[in-house]
Amino acid sequence: MKEHIAIIGGTGLSRLDALEVERQQIVVTPYGEPSAPLTFGQFDGVPIVFLPRHGEAHTIPPHLVNYQANLWALHSVGIREVVSVASVGGITLPPRALVVPDQIIDYTWGRGHTYVKCGCTPIKHVDFTHPYCEALRQRLLEAGREAGIEIADGGTYGATQGPRLETAAEICRMEQDGCDLVGMTGMPEAALARELDLCFAHLSLVVNWAAGKSEGTISMEAIKEVLDTSIDSVRRIISRL
């Protein structure tokens, strides 16, 4: 049997239209319930498991997503590869850019960010020098090339707490830190995947200029417009993958 690859869908990708659903599975984990039942199906003939990060009705905000349960659930059904998709703000990259980042800076706090428990010996310190799985990153980039869709190779994803957007000064600081993208869900998702030894890569869709990077304020209508017109490219990349 072919192994399933998991897709964690973000804003704008709460469902995959072309997914031929075979079954849904509710997984209860020691960390509580994932954002939704896992959906098993075929996407262009490839077995995948789909999990909408913000829930099926897109009701779970970034700081309340149960990242521990999500990754644990995927791992517990035998998943070894996870592609995470999210919409982000662009600090050095413009709206509509698609990016497969290669680095992360974590500005989040108070989230369930590890599976390491008190009393576990020896205490586990996972290597996180390169936070994403390089082989899967390359396959995503290759899928983009095959689909004729330009994807930026590399960039630093700055994970903020949300749900509010950032101030212009925060974005200025993040740019000085070396961030190219800003999003609210990239961490602790990637670190938890690493703790579980999952091969994990991320595809970002830039839906707005980050705060202070364009005239005026950030409008949800403009974000929606970018999402509506660009999310199809994300679907095509996943389909190629």
Binding site for ligand HPA (CB under 6 A): 87-89, 160, 165-166, 182-184, 207-208, 210
User: Which residue has the closest beta carbon to ligand HPA?
Assistant: 89
Provide, rounded to whole angstroms, the least separation between the CB of residue 13 and ligand HPA. 13
Q: How far is the CB of 165 from ligand HPA (least distance, A)?
A: 5
C-beta of 70 vs 87, nearer to ligand HPA: 87
In whole angstroms, how close is the CB of 108 to ligand HPA at the nearest point? 11
Question: Smallest distance from the beta carbon of 159 to ligand HPA, in angstroms?
Answer: 9
Site of tokens 């980039």: 141
Residue 79 or residue 182: which is nearer to ligand HPA going by CB?
Answer: 182
Q: How far is the CB of 72 from ligand HPA (least distance, A)?
A: 25
For residue 99, what are its two tokens?
């990016």
Residue with Cβ nearer ligand HPA (43 or 209) = 209
Q: Which CB atom, from 46 or from 60, has the smaller least distance to ligand HPA?
A: 60
Q: Which residues, including other chains, have CB under 8 Å from residue 168's CB and lie 6 or more apart?
A: 211, 212
Looking at the Cβ atoms of 39 and 156, the one nearer to ligand HPA is: 156
Tokens standing for residue 123:
């205490």
